[in-house]
Amino acid sequence: DAGITQSPRHKVTETGTPVTLRCHQTENHRYMYWYRQDPGHGLRLIHYSYGVKDTDKGEVSDGYSVSRSKTEDFLLTLESATSSQTSVYFCAISVAGMGTEAFFGQGTRLTVV
Amino acid sequence: KQEVTQIPAALSVPEGENLVLNCSFTDSAIYNLQWFRQDPGKGLTSLLLIQSSQREQTSGRLNASLDKSSGRSTLYIAASQPGDSATYLCAVRRNYGGSQGNLIFGKGTKLSVKP
């Protein structure tokens, strides 16, 4: 699993509440990513980070923000959760020394009611 | 805009059969291509990584090929087993003049291997 831990693994929250998902890596890789996976859409990139305090938007970034204050942690925040953000969220890293191979965490299943 | 298509969306085969999963992409300017396996309710497991300069990669019963000029990759599974049942995802990494372009995923092929 390339030392990637996502927390929480499951969460149910109410519409309008803020939610923060955490991704933790143990190997100090520079690049980290947040994806969401939905039936019919596959995996889509939300945000990514290329270093501490360096982040950029992906394909579906509206309604999400991210922060990376330490190399090992990449946080995804839903400022005000909506039902359309019910999804499975995956964190990933890229390992440059292995030809830029991507490894994924186990996912967080988020339900917004 | 890069688009990745996987055909078929679902496949059911008897145990022991050799099979091929297909992946096509619209923009040949890729850095690499990666095949993943995903079991229900689980994360993605990396199976094979092919660099843009390579033609194929092998791991055990799996062989992945890449034809960048035609925008195609195949994943060949030899002597399939019920334990191979999973969804297989293909993803291409964009080449933005370096190695850290983002991954673009296909929607996957759901494979069922019947005993």
Give the per-residue pLDDT at B8: 92
Statement: residue A1 has pLDDT above 70: no
Amino acid in the structure at residue B4: V
Nearest by CB: A104 against B32, B43, B51: B43
Contact A100 B32 (CB under 8 A): yes
With cut-offs at 50, 70 and 90, classify the pLDDT of residue A83: very high
| Cα–Cα dist A32/B76, whole Å | 30
Cα–Cα distances in angstroms (integers) from residue B42 to residues A48, A109, B36, B39, in the given order: 21, 10, 12, 5
Beta strands in B1-115 (DSSP E): 4-7, 10-14, 19-25, 30-38, 44-51, 56-59, 62-67, 72-77, 86-94, 103-105, 109-114
Cα–Cα distances in angstroms (integers) from residue B65 to residues A19, A22, B69, B90, B96, in the given order: 41, 35, 12, 12, 23
Give the per-residue pLDDT at B99: 52
Residues of A with CB below 8 A from B106's CB?
42
Give the per-residue pLDDT at A95: 83
With cut-offs at 50, 70 and 90, classify the pLDDT of residue A73: very high
Alpha-carbon Rg for chain A in angstroms: 13
Q: Looking at the complex, does the CB of residue A99 fall below 8 Å from at least one CB of chain B? A: yes
Give the per-residue pLDDT at A40: 86
| Cα–Cα dist A70/B94, whole Å | 26
Alpha-carbon Rg for chain B in angstroms: 14
Statement: residue A67 has pLDDT above 90: yes
Q: How far is B56 from chain A (nearest CA, A)?
A: 14
Statement: residue B23 has pLDDT above 90: yes
Contact B44 A90 (CB under 8 A): yes
Give the per-residue pLDDT at A96: 74
- Residue A87's contacts (CB-CB under 8 Å, 6 or more residues apart) are A36, A37, A38, A110
Residues of A with CB below 8 A from B89's CB?
42-43
At residue B105, φ and ψ (nearest 5 deg) are -100, 145
Cβ A70 vs Cβ A99: under 8 Å: no
With cut-offs at 50, 70 and 90, classify the pLDDT of residue A86: very high
Statement: residue B66 has pLDDT above 90: yes
Contact A50 B36 (CB under 8 A): no
Give the per-residue pLDDT at B98: 53
Statement: residue B95 has pLDDT above 80: no
Mean pLDDT, chain A, integer: 93
Statement: residue A97 has pLDDT above 90: no
Please tell me whether residue B82 adopts helix, strand or coil conformation: helix
- With a pLDDT cut of 70, the percent of chain A lying above it is 96
Residues of B with CB below 8 A from A94's CB?
99-100
Q: How far is A14 from chain B (nearest CA, A)?
A: 23
* CA–centroid distance for B17 within its chain: 18
| Cα–Cα dist A108/B31, whole Å | 28
| Cα–Cα dist A111/A82, whole Å | 9
Nearest by CB: A90 against B32, B43, B106: B43
